[in-house]
Chains A and B, each alone.
Chain A
């Protein structure tokens, strides 16, 4: 069966520090991968998605970037964190679009606090 792992679960970082959050998926190949941010009391905002290695689509202008160095690895990064980057970051995967109508499956998220 497929599993998704995100780490760390919680992270406290000072303003201006770099960031690297990692997400890996097991049990599937060539998945679509997604990064979302969720502010308290809000829905999920799509930040990035990827349909293959090295292919990244950005949904909103921001201080963050994403990379996909391997088929089942998705990384969210920042060179200098801002206070506004605080939030709950969720990674998700789905089967490729060609397998029509596939739900996204989520990891358990990283709660990021910027001080």
Chain B
């Protein structure tokens, strides 16, 4: 499959630990944010999203935190599992557009 993330920042965590992946976004006019997970050879898969009028949103084992003051987004994964190993991208949607701007990605490696 396609080798994504050859030169990406890497986060290595032990199975069962919590993971925190960070993202700095660029545009203060962005009003909607998404986290994607991309496994090797596949397209990005939607994980969770958050609107700019919120600062936290929880899903199943995942939590997204948004700090608009410093334009920072984070993805927290609880009890990380081997199946969580992938490259994670944040994306921002600029107000009143149909377009997303993607971050460069972080590779998450889970070891036993």
A7 lies within 8 A of chain B by Cβ: no
Within 8 A of B (CB), among A46-76: 46, 49, 51, 59
Which residue from B7, B51, B99, B104 sits with its C-beta under 8 Å from A49? B99
- Contact A38 B4, CB 8 Å, known A46-B99, A46-B100, A49-B99: yes
**Residues of chain B lying within 8 A (CB to CB) of residue A97:** 97-98
List the B residue with the shortest CB-CB distance to A9: B41
B89 touches A41 (CB 8 A): no
Q: Is the CB of A103 within 8 A of B49?
A: yes
Query: Number of A residues whose C-beta is below 8 Å from B?
Result: 26
Residues 14-56 of chain B, each 1 if its beta carbon lies under 8 Å from chain A, else 0: 0000000000000000011010100001111110010100000
Sample of 17 more A-B contacts, CB < 8 Å, known A38-B2, A44-B44: A40-B2, A40-B6, A41-B4, A41-B7, A42-B104, A43-B102, A44-B102, A94-B98, A101-B31, A103-B34, A105-B46, A106-B44, A106-B45, A108-B41, A109-B2, A109-B41, A111-B41
Residues of A that sit less than 8 Å from B by CB:
6, 32, 38, 40-44, 46, 49, 51, 59, 88, 90, 92, 94, 97, 101, 103-109, 111
